[in-house]
Structure 1
């Protein structure tokens, strides 16, 4: 037992000597000339653990107490504190590097897209970085390269001309997007994507305006022939997350036409390409089409939106819908109290539904105009323009509402209109009544589907009920609705004047009542004053 104890002491003594030599010499203690020492198994494990620990994680502080020297470990910051500091540093860099004022192409917030992601995600074609490289959208890439090859062959240009032009606008284009999908793209990949997607979009725009045959595509082309897939492409390209900056498209089209500095021509092409998605049944006028074709032929600058500009296709399309819209009058009492509320029926109500308004004597008539938002109320009659609803209307309205929710200075006119119609429509009876008067025309399966569409459009939308161009009209309608005399007159008309037989019965009843009253009068009169 004594021998074993002495052996352990000797081993610890040799270990201490070797550690001292290593500290003094600054080199490894194991060399070819050094004698081999067999350490106990536990001692070897502790030495290996000390060698694996990084030097920064252990700080030794020496304290002298006379002749004794004590080494004390200074514990480092814990891992979660270091993680917090790294996140704060990253946030500081993001805040300094980001330019929120230039951001205009947004990712749809999760609270808007919850449960209906299909309305915001493209199905067959991706444009821009948000959905770039997704597996289900790669099939369209070969058609994009075909479009770019057609452009280069038709214009006799070199690809470097387009790459260099977009390279100059790269920083400005990157500022239009947000999120990690931008930072993950290198400079060359980003420029290539802008040129490839931009030329593909312009080919679609020009083909819809001039004809794909004029651009060199055969009549049986699977994409550039205005077949059934074109409708799905139009729906994909009007989505907020599937956009390119308008200045990129203007530069690429200008290079093709020999005028790199032109602006506004793409905006006209946008209006004609997305005309089938308009929520009205009024097509583009012949005069507008002729001006558009002449501007493409001679590269003029005719542009109905030139005084407004545009950020991307969604912005241009929205501006075209709201052309000559009424200006809202300032309301003093808005400053006193403003309600930013979720636009559902439990928390806000602009107006009563069609059935309730009809019972209060309010009539509905179709207003003859192509501005679907231009609603009027006069003398108890609500004039509403015709609204065409198809399978792409839901996605169109959702993306327009999402843009108004994200873009600070664009107003909320589309949202106000949709909320107004949502209040009017509660059931399929309301849709049927509007359809009877020619206000709603739909290509869906039933009136119940139309009612469900409007009831789901604004479920989670943040909306100020006072900041709406329809707020004054809603007040007038509600004031008419609250007047009891109007409800009584409406009930009389509904119960006794709804059809000819009811009118005849009412007249007969009144006649009998008058005869009975006359007979009673003369009977009483003859009793008190006999002749």
Structure 2
């Protein structure tokens, strides 16, 4: 079948068909002896046949080249772009869209990088409840959706409000909320808004129940979820994960609707701190002055503006800021990734993160360890050969907590590396179960996890793939002081003397007895020699 691209060629083709029929009729008549008028006609027919063949060939050639070009009116082929070139241009258009100004300005809820996830994937993945789009719809987490709908029902029943009020409020924030997450979110507008309302109301109900009691909110005393039981601890651990966060401004808006004050800020942050208090890595109680400072800081509306550089962006950020909010003295400035490369200021990997020596080596060098009574677990001091470290509580949620805090500090640019510095510092101190045992003996580590070997393994695995600048560490100056003390030989000699000869009372008695005996022997020898040269007259 011939593909035709021109009306003139079509008309010429029909004419040639008619001529072919006439030629065949003429040839039949020419064979008869009576017909003598069509002797010269076949030559004309041959010419027409040649033109017909040329036209047919040109049509077939045009049909074969239809995949790579089109026939213009002038008869020349116009080349078109291949699928490969088109796909490259589409990728460039997508890159231009992704690189638009301000595309990353609001990003604060990150996916865990693969280099960190390889250490312990379970510490970053929720086991009971999903919050936000990253783990939404997973089969093993769907059982909690029934409890989310139940929480939303309780809220609407208690406040006598309509669900459309919550949906409309979140729909206004949809674009801003989507910008907080990394990568495209494969949810329609209605699905995203429904998920945000459901998850945010579930979080707020947990916060209010932990603060004022779930029975006051209308839940049964034996409720399987909304009660301070064992399941709540697993929920708390899931809600502190980086990939399982809801933007704080969404929580503020919905809590404002419930309380009748849409413009309030800071209250959700306070409720979050009370809810996550069991996860605190220290069991030292806050003093009244420190607690008032913290609450005044969290109550400041400008402090918790979600899109400012120092704002609380989600619950993990609020929790992290609560750990560092009462810091006294200057803080390290946020990290600047592009720095001049030098031998004194470079990014360190695991092999170069040696801040100080381990506990056993420092103890042999004469350094003493004491517990510092403060709730700020990162506030370590060193003076006169004594390293004072606040008490650290190790439980089954400590690993996941520290890993997610470290991941957030690694991903978020406007964030210092205080938690990372502390964990690396403790990782350097602890190399063996013996180091853990000695710190426990000094009251520095409270181990609820199990054996000392498990605690040592925990710290040795926390920062395997972490990259940070040693010179930006908040503990770098303290580490230099400790190392200078360790390098002083007199301190090591004095420590050796103390460990070998003064490690128990009997050794001390034996030492002084030996000294007295040596003194008496020396006196006897002296008087013997003295009497020989100067005899008594």
Whether TM-score is above 0.5 comes out as yes
8 Å CA contact retained: 2:240, 2:315: yes
CA offsets per residue over residues 5-54 of structure 1, 9 Å max, x none?
Answer: xxxxxxxxxx78x869887349x99xxx9x9xxxxxxxxxx9xx999989
Cα shift readout 1:212-267 (whole Å, capped 9, x = no counterpart) = 10101111111101221100000000000100010100110110011111111100
CA gap of 1:440–1:141, structure 2 versus 1, over 3 A, is same
Note if 1:476 corresponds to 2:461: no
Deviation at 1:406, TM superposition (A): 1.0
Question: Which residue matches 1:508?
Answer: 513
Partner of 2:233: 231
In 1, the alpha carbon distance for the partners of 2:65 and 2:123 equals 52
Q: 1:424 aligns with which of 425, 429, 432?
A: 429
Aligned to 1:270: 272
- The reply to whether residue 101 of structure 1 matches residue 105 of structure 2 is yes
1:307 is displaced (CA, Å) by 5.4
Compared with structure 1, are the counterparts of its residues 135 and 285 closer, same or farther at alpha carbon in structure 2 (3 Å cutoff)? farther
SS in 2 for 1:408: coil
Structure-2 separation of matches of 1:23 and 1:54: 19
Render the CA deviation track for 1:159-215: whole Å, top value 9, x for unaligned: 0100111111111111111113x1x11111111111010000000000000111010
CA shift, 1:269, in A, is 0.4
Distance, in Å, in 2 between the alignment partners of 1:363 and 1:87 is 61
SS in 1 for 2:99: helix
Pair 1:257–1:291, CA change in 2 (3 A): farther
Superposition deviation, residue 104 in structure 1: 0.7
Task: Identify the match of residue 375 of structure 1 among 371, 380, 400.
Answer: 380
Structure 2: 5+ residue stretches without partners: 21-56, 305-311, 334-338
Q: In the TM superposition, what whole-angstrom CA distance separates every residue of 1:99-139 from its partner, at most 9, and x where no partner exists?
A: 21111111111111113111011001000111111111111
Gaps of 5+ in 1: 1-14, 36-45, 64-68, 296-300
The separation in 2 between residues aligned to 1:402 and 1:20, in whole angstroms, is 63
* Corresponding residue for residue 126 of structure 1: 130
Tell me the distance in 1 between the aligned counterparts of 2:61 and 2:150: 63
Q: Distance in 2 between matches of 1:250 and 1:394?
A: 29
In the other structure, the counterpart of 2:462 is 457
Within 5 Å, give how 1:197-208 maps onto structure 2. Answer: 197-208=199-210
CA distance in 2, matches of 1:330, 1:87: 40
Partners of 1:514 and 1:23 in 2: CA distance:
132
Cross-structure match for 1:444:
449
* Counterpart residue number, 1:308: 303
Of residues 343, 355, 362, the one that matches 1:357 is 362
Structure 1 counterpart of 2:198: 196
Name the residue aligned to 1:240: 242
| CA–CA distance in structure 2, aligned partners of residues 19 and 430 of structure 1 | 88
Map 1:200-219 to 2 at 5 A.
200-219=202-221
What corresponds to 1:491 in structure 2? Answer: 496
Other-structure match for 1:24: 9
- In 1, Cα distance between the equivalents of 2:450 and 2:104? 43
In structure 2, relative to structure 1, the CA distance for the partners of 1:221 and 1:513 (3 Å cut) is same
Match of 1:58 in 2: 69
Cα distance in 2 for partners of 1:524, 1:23 equals 142
Q: Please give the alpha-carbon distance, in whole angstroms, between the structure 2 residues aligned to 1:133 and 1:495.
A: 64
Q: How does 1:262-341 map to 2 (within 5 A)?
A: 262-283=264-285, 303-304=298-299, 306=301, 308-309=303-304, 310-328=312-330, 337-341=344-348
Counterpart in 1 of 2:174? 170
User: Are 2:391 and 1:386 equivalent residues in the alignment?
Assistant: yes
Distance 2:281 2:330 in 1: 23
- Give the Cα–Cα distance (whole angstroms) in 1 for the partners of residues 298 and 396 of structure 2: 30
CA distance in 1, matches of 2:450, 2:355: 28
Q: Tell which structure's C-alpha radius of gyration is larger.
A: 2
Across the aligned residues of Structure 1 and Structure 2, the Cα RMSD in angstroms comes to 3.4
Q: How many residue pairs align between the two structures? A: 482
Q: TM-score, normalised by structure 1?
A: 0.83
- Partner secondary structure for residue 352 of structure 2: coil
Q: Could you say if the C-alpha distance between residues 162 and 288 of structure 1 is closer, same or farther in structure 2, counting changes exceeding 3 Å?
A: farther
